[in-house]
Chain A
C-alpha cells in the first residue's frame, strides 16, 4: 500500500509530541521526587479496540512501554462501561502492572462523538501503604502486606472526581497530601493530552491519522524484522540469577531460550525457578515487556509502537516466578526481576552476535527507603533513593560509570537537596573503586555511599540485587563487582542475611547505612587491555596496582 511518506512522518512526530507533552506536565507537577527528578513515569496513546500502544513520550520510563499496553487491554476487557469524561485508576500488578507503587490512570478519548483511543499514564508514587514506607518490602509473602491494591475503578465519572474513591485511597497511604498532588499531576497530563490530540485530529483528520497509525505499525514491524534477520539463526540461551526472594535465601534462575528463524524471534522461560515466597514474583506481562525493552536496547532505532513488538513472540512463563498470580507479592518485580530478564536477553543476544552488544550492566535499581519521623520539624517522611552503577564494556569502549539503570533515565537527587529535606547526612557519595569488571574494555564503576541518621527514628529497607553474583562479562571479560550493603547500629556493623535485600532496620541517631552498587561486566580478554589505560586507571585511583596485577596479569606502576 502506498501512503504519503511525508504525511506519515509528520503524523508520527505529531503523535509522539502529544505524549511527550503529557510527560512534561506529569513530571513538572508531581510531588514524588521519583517522578519529578527520576522521570519514573510514562504517558501514551493506546488503540481503542486492541489496546496496543500507538505512541509514547520520548522520555517515558522504558519498562512501561509494554506493560501499559497490557494494562489497557485488561481494562478494555474488564470495564465495558467507560464513558467520555471517565478516568480509571488502577495499580493491580496482576492486570498489566508492575508493583503497587506504579499507579496507572486511563481515560477514554472521544473525538467527534465516539471513542477514538485511550490516553493513559503511569507514575511511581512514593507510597501506597503497606508494611514498609515506600513499598519496597523484601519480606512480604502476600500482596496485602505490600500496600493498597486498587482494581480498575472509576476515579473520575463524567468529569467529576469520585470523592469516596479518593478518600478510600488517601486513607490508606502515607503522606496523603503529597499523593493527592501526584494524582492531580496525572489527571492534568491526561487533560493536556486530550486537548493536544484533538488539535492533531482537527488538523489532519481522524481517518487520515487512523490509516497512518496502521501504516506506522506495519513499518515498525518491518524495521524490527529487518534487524532480527541480522541475528544468526539458531537457539541461544541466557541464564541470569536473582540473589533471593528476600524470604528464602536461594537464587532464583531465569532461564531464557531465544530462538531466531529468519526475521522471527521467540523467547521461552522454560526451566526458570517456580513461584517464590517473597516479593520477587514478576507478573507475566512485565516479563514480556522486559524482553521488549531489552530488544529495543539492542536495536534502539525502531520507533515505539505495537508494530515493533509484533515479531517478538513470548511463550507465557507458566508455573514460574515470572508469572505472578494473586496473592503472590511482587514489590521487587519492576525494578529488579525485570532487569534480570533483560540481562538474560543481553546474554542470549551476546551469544548470537557478541560483536554487536555489550557486557551486562549493573542491573539493579538499588531501591533504598528510609521512613521515619523528624522531631525537629514534627513530620513523618519517606526518603526513597535509587542509584546508578556501572555499565558493561562494549566493542568500542569501556562502560559508563554510575549511569542510571537501563530501565530509566532518572537523575539521582543531589545530596544537598536530600540533606535539606531529610534528617540525614551523607558521609560519602563516591565512585566505587575497584568495582569495574576487567576486560579489554572494562565495565564502568559503581557507586559507594554512606548515609547517617541525624535525629529521630527511622526504618530502612532495601530491595536490590546482584549481591551474590556480579554482572557477567562478555567474550572473556570478567564480571563486575557485586552489590554490598552494610548497616551500622549502635556501633555494630551487620550485613543483611540476603545480602541485597532487607527490611525493618531501625536506625537511631548516629546509625548508618552503606551501599556499594555493582560495576559493569568487562568486554573481551583483560590481557588485551591497552596498558596505557591500565596505568591511567591506577593514576586516577580507580584501581590499585595490586588489583591491576590480579585482574590484568601485568605489573604496572603508578606514575
Chain B
C-alpha cells in the first residue's frame, strides 16, 4: 500500500498486550490504521516496529515519517501490566507509627456480601518492608509530635538492608501538610542513593490513609519500570527525527509530557482506554450530537463511557486488580459482556449469559480452537449476523456447525427450546447487561438516555448498538468505521491535561467569608503552578484553559458532588450544587448546610482539533449489496432475507434503509427494520431510527 500523505500528520500508538495499534491522521483528515504485534519483553522495540511497519507501508523511511509528525501520542499498558503481572519494583514503605498496616487492613472492604473465602490480592509491600517512624500531625495538619529523625534513620537502615528499589512514604494527614514527608524524603534520599521515592502528599494529596497509601505504593511499584522506558523511548524518537516531545495519555484522558508525569506514573494506569475520550470528542462533532454514550464491546467485556455536553464523566477512585487508586480518571463502567461471553443454563434452569468469557483461547466454539461452550459470537453466527468462514481479517475461520452444536448441547436441549430461540435469548440477555451498564452511567447519574446518541465500537459493539439504543430510547447509533482502533485514533485528537485535586474542608456559608478568600488564594496558587507548567511546554495563552471545580456536600453527608464553577462566591455555588443534587437524587435537603470537601483545577493545553473532513457528496451512487442472506433481526421480525454490503464500497452521504448488514474490516453492523444507515461526512456510520418503535417484546 502506498498512500499519498498530506503533511503534517499525527500519530497515535496504543500498545496493548497482544497488538500495537498505530493510527496516522494526515492534514487532509485521512485516517490510516496499522496493527503490529506488541513486544512485551522490549516495549520500546515494539513501538519502533509499529512505526517501521507504518513507514514501510507508506513507502517512507522511519526518519521521514517521524520528521513529518507534529504530534506523537502514546498510550501504553506498561503501567497496567506491571501492576497486573506484579513485575514492579521491590518497594518499601514508611508510615506513621501505629499505622503501618493500613495498606493491608484495606478498610475491611469485601465487595461481595456472600463471598468471604476468596483472598484479597497480596499487598505490594509485605509487612516486613513497611516501617514506622515516630511523628504525628492532627487533622488540620498541625504538628502534634515532631518527626523523630532517629526513627527515620532506623527505617532507612532497614530499607537498605532489604535492598528496596523504591520507597512509598505515606504519613497520616500529610495531604494537609507535607512537612514531615518531605523531611523523611530528604533523609532517605541521602541514605538510599538511587532509590526512587514516592510521597503521598505529591502523588495523591487526598484524604484517606488507605486510599492515598495504596496509590502511592502503586506509584512506587511501577515507577522504576515505566519511567526509564518512557525516557528512553522519547530520546530514541527524538534521535530518529521526531521534532517534538512524546506525549502520553493519562487515566484522565488528557495527554502529558514525559517530564511532567515522571514523578507520578501511576497516572498512566488507564492510559489505553482513557484515550477513547479524544475519539468520542471527534465523533461527537461528526455525529452532530454533544451527548454521547459509548459502548466498546470487545471479546470479554464492555466499557461504557458517558459524555454530556462535551464533558466526560470523571472519577477519583479506581480499583485495578484489587489495588485501590485515588487518581483522576475517566469514568469507565465495565461489565462482563463481549463476543466471547459464555452462556449457560444455571442450576435453577434459567438461561444465563456471562460474566465468564472464553477469552481469545479457546474462544467461541465456532473458532474451532477447542472452545466447547456457546458464546455470544456463536449466537451471532447462528442468527446469520456474522458470515461463516474467514473472520477478523482472515486470522480465524468461523464454523457454523460448531456454533450450532454448542448452543444445542448446552442451551437448547437442556432448556427445551429451539437453537434459534436460545441464540436469540443469549443476545437478549447480554444486551440487557449492556443496557444496565448504560443505565448506571446515565439514569443513575440523572441523565436521560433519550438525549444521547449511542456510539457502538469495539469489534462486537455495532451488532448490539441498535438494540441497546432502542431499549434506552437513545436517538441514534454512531459506528466509527475504525471501531477496532478507537483508542489509537483518540490519541490523535487529545489535549494536554493535568488534574489537580486539593483536599479541603470548610463550610460554604460562613458569613465572615475567610474561607472563600482562602479558597481563592489556593486556586490562585494552583493556577500559578499550572501556568508555569504550561510555560515549560510552550503553550500560547490562547490555547490555555482552566476548569475550576469544587467538591461540595451537605455537611454531615459522606458523598460530595463535583460542581464546575465560574467564580468563588457562596450564592452561585449553592445554586449550582443544589441543581446538581436535585438532578442526581430528585430532592433537596432544605436548609442543609453545605461544605467544601476539595478543590479541583483542570489545566488544559489545547492542541489543534482534528479536521472534520467533509468529503464530496457522493449520495447519487446507490450502494449495491454483495449478497442477500437470511438474518435474524429482532424478536418481532425474526429471520428475513437481508442485503449485505461491503463497508469498503460505501461513501460519505450514502444511505441504506434497514434491514441491512454491513461487513467492515474489523466489525459488522446490523441495521434493523425502520432504521436507516447514513455514511457521515467523516466517513463513519450513523444509524437513525424512523420512530421509537420498541422491538424488545
Binding site for B on A (CB under 8 A): 2, 4-6, 8-10, 12-14, 17, 21, 24-25, 27-31, 33, 36-37, 59-62, 177-178, 180-181, 184, 187-188, 191-192, 203, 219-220, 222-223, 226, 296-297, 300-303, 358, 361, 387-388, 391, 394, 396-398, 400-404, 406, 408-417, 419-420, 425-431, 447, 450, 539-542
Contacts and interface: CB of A to CB of B under 8 A. Distances in A.
Contact of B349 (A60, A222, A419): A222
13 contacts: A10-B429, A13-B432, A29-B557, A219-B348, A226-B347, A302-B348, A358-B116, A401-B105, A402-B108, A404-B109, A408-B113, A430-B100, A430-B105
B558 A37 contact: yes
Interface in B543-562: 554, 556-559
Contact of B425 (A6, A178, A394, A541): A6
B108 A30 contact: no
Nearest to A405: B108
Nearest to A28: B559
B450 interface: no
A129 to B, nearest CB: 18
Contact of A402 (B106, B211, B428, B554): B106
B105 A181 contact: no
A297 B114 contact: yes
A540 to B, nearest CB: 4
B428 A6 contact: yes
Contact of B105 (A296, A300, A402): A402
A12 B100 CA distance: 44
A398 B115 contact: no
A412 B208 CA distance: 11
B410 to A, nearest CB: 13
Contacts of B110: 400, 403-404, 409
Contact of B98 (A400, A410, A429): A429
Interface string B71-105: 00000000000000000000000000111111011
A177 B556 CA distance: 9
Given A2-B416, A13-B432, A31-B556, A428 B99 contact: yes
A181 B109 contact: no
A28 B105 contact: no
Contact of A539 (B101, B128, B144, B505): B128
A6 B173 CA distance: 52
A33 B346 CA distance: 38
Nearest to A361: B116
Nearest to B176: A416
A431 B558 contact: no
Contacts of A411: 107-109
B207 interface: yes
A521 to B, nearest CB: 13
B173 to A, nearest CB: 6
B209 A416 contact: yes
Contact of B173 (A178, A358, A416): A416
Contact of B138 (A184, A192, A414, A419): A419
Given A184-B587, A430-B98, A9 B207 contact: no
Contacts of A191: 586-587
B108 A403 contact: yes
B429 A414 contact: no
Contacts of A396: 117
Contact of B116 (A178, A391, A414, A425): A391
Contacts of A394: 117
A86 B586 CA distance: 19
A431 B97 CA distance: 13
B556 A181 contact: yes
B425 A540 contact: no
B287 to A, nearest CB: 27
Contacts of B211: 414
Which 3 pairs across A and B sit closest by C-beta, in order of nearness?
Answer: A428-B98, A6-B425, A388-B108
A8 B350 contact: yes
A396 B622 CA distance: 64
Nearest to B115: A300
B558 A33 contact: yes
Contact of A414 (B104, B207, B348): B207
Interface stretch (B119-127, B177-185, B666-674, B685-693): B119-127
Contacts of A361: 116
A541 B208 CA distance: 25
Contacts of A12: 350
A13 B102 CA distance: 36
Contacts of A425: 136, 138, 144
Contact of A540 (B127, B138, B172): B127
A32 to B, nearest CB: 9
Given A59-B113, A409-B111, A184 B429 contact: no
A181 B592 contact: yes
B127 A223 contact: no
Contacts of B347: 223, 226, 301
Nearest to A559: B128
B109 A17 contact: no
A216 B554 CA distance: 41
A138 B119 CA distance: 34
B116 A410 contact: no
Contacts of B127: 431, 540-542
B415 interface: yes
B525 interface: no
B115 A412 contact: no
A415 B100 CA distance: 13
A77 B386 CA distance: 57
Contact of A62 (B105, B114, B429): B114
B664 interface: no
B350 A9 contact: yes
Contact of A219 (B349, B424, B558, B587): B349
A222 B345 CA distance: 14
B319 to A, nearest CB: 12
A460 B218 CA distance: 38
B108 A414 contact: no
B367 interface: no
Contacts of A541: 127-128
Given A4-B417, A25-B585, A62-B114, 14 more contacts: A6-B424, A13-B429, A28-B584, A29-B587, A181-B554, A219-B348, A301-B347, A411-B109, A416-B173, A419-B138, A429-B99, A429-B105, A447-B105, A541-B128
Given A6-B425, A29-B557, A430-B99, A188 B349 contact: no
B444 A21 contact: yes
B120 A36 contact: no
B117 A6 contact: no
B139 interface: yes
A231 B351 CA distance: 26
Interface in B310-363: 345-352
Contacts of A297: 114, 116
B112 interface: yes
A31 B557 contact: yes
Nearest to A358: B117
Contact of A184 (B136, B439, B589): B589
A210 to B, nearest CB: 17
Contacts of B556: 31, 177-178, 181
